[in-house]
Amino acid sequence: MIHFDLKKIDAYYIVTVKTDITEIGTFHRMAAIIYSLGWDVISGDLNTVIESGIPYSLDTLKLRPTQSNNSKEIMEIGILMDSIFSKKIDYDDLVRKYKITPPSANTFFSSRAELIFANDFEKNTTCFYMEADSREGLLYHVTKVFLGFRINIISATIETDMESQRAKDTFFLVDEEGSMFGEKPIANQIRDKILGIL
């Protein structure tokens, strides 16, 4: 099941997607297509909701396109949604189809950055706070690392300080077994990979 809504407000698009496709890496597929189209995620909320015992991803993103042609923008959004949720297209096919070149970590972390992991025992998740330079591809880069470590995004708040052009994002995560990992060695490994140290 996929429910998709698109609204244009000024120079931005508000995209809301609700789907029962909740496996690890679903949001990374979305971030990959957004990055490949040259769009930027300004803000957003990612959530996992349970309805009648079934988990759904409910994501709302504010996007800034690089094109000024409205019909082209809407067509690109359609391509994005079709590519993300088509069960016939795997991740490697997406990368080849859209010729995605991964950005360098230096693009986002050339100046002061904060990457903090802390277990949230109330939510039974690991909270990951990240502050970095806001550039196209940041979410693609970070979610690709999450996918590589089989980390699941339960919810997230994505924010961009428009004055400083700094991303200030908060993710609530669990590992592949559904457990917190903020105090485990994997947290440091993820941090190092995001920073481009590994």
Q: Which domains does the chain have, with CATH numbers?
A: 2-97 (3.30.70.260), 106-194 (3.30.70.260)
pLDDT of residue 117: 98
- Measured CA to CA, the distance from residue 20 to residue 48 in angstroms comes to 10
- pLDDT tens, position by position, 152-178: 999 999 999 988 889 999 999 999 999
Cβ within 8 Å of residue 107, ≥6 positions away: 133, 135, 137, 138, 141
Exposure b/e, 127-146, CB count within 10 A at least 16 = b: bbebbbbbebbbbbbbbbbb
> What is the pLDDT of the chain when averaged over all its residues?
86
Determine phi and psi for 135, rounding to 5 degrees: -140, 155
DSSP β-ladder status, 160-161 and 125-133 = unpaired
- pLDDT tens, position by position, 132-152: 988 888 999 999 999 999 999
Confidence of residue 6 (pLDDT cuts 50, 70, 90): confident
H or E element: which one contains 73?
Answer: helix 70-85
Q: Which amino acid type is present at position 77?
A: I
pLDDT of residue 123: 94
- pLDDT tens, position by position, 53-101: 999 999 999 998 876 555 666 666 666 666 666 655 666 676 677 677 8
Residue 167 in contact with residue 160, Cβ under 8 Å? Answer: yes
